[in-house]
Amino acid sequence: MSRVRYLLLSWAALAALLIGGCPDFTFVVDPPITVRVINDTDFEVDPGIEYGRTTANLRWLDVGILAPGEFIDVDFDCAQLGVLTATDSTQLGFAVDYVLDPLPLFLLDVDYFCGELIVFEFVGNGLDFDVYVDAGGENIY
């Protein structure tokens, strides 16, 4: 009698799945973060941007040297970009290179969020060389 009961229960479960459909096992994935680096100066710029999951494992963002007017976009998985900064950002002048002071550490869920566009815009020439950082349309540095 127990075999008949198990058979009926399994048929009932199959009928419930066919009528109700299978459960949805989709996983939520955070949208990527895009880092845009813009050279809005008259000289080449080495941006010196660093990123990582934590401050202990920062890596250089290897975008190379940007020509005047050039920009580049780099997409990151949200989990890869827990910390973002720029150190030793350099404008390569004719006779003299200009190096910026290190930027503060920008933190995920504090200064920027998953799915946002983060823009490092290098402006000015020579002693006026500087960088502006925007995240999600708001200036953060």
* Second CATH level (architecture) for the domain 33-139: Sandwich (2.60)
Residue 39 neighbours by CB distance under 10 Å? 23
Question: By C-alpha distance, which of 98, 111, 36, 28 is closest to 70?
Answer: 36
Distance CA 26, CA 80 (A): 22
Mean pLDDT of 86-95: 96
Taking 80 as the threshold, does the pLDDT of residue 111 lie above it?
yes
Look at the block and give the residue holding tokens 């150190």. Answer: 87
- What integer pLDDT is reported at residue 20 of this predicted model? 66
Q: Each residue of 24-82: pLDDT tens digit?
A: 555 668 899 999 999 999 999 999 999 999 999 999 999 999 999 999 999 999 989 99
Predicted confidence at residue 22, as pLDDT, reads: 58
Phi, psi (5° rounding) for residue 89?
A: -65, 130
- The pairs formed by 60-64 with CB atoms below 8 angstroms and a separation of 24 or more are 61/35, 61/37, 63/37
Contact between 48 and 63 under an 8 Å Cβ cutoff? The reply is no
Better-predicted residue by pLDDT, 6 or 72: 72
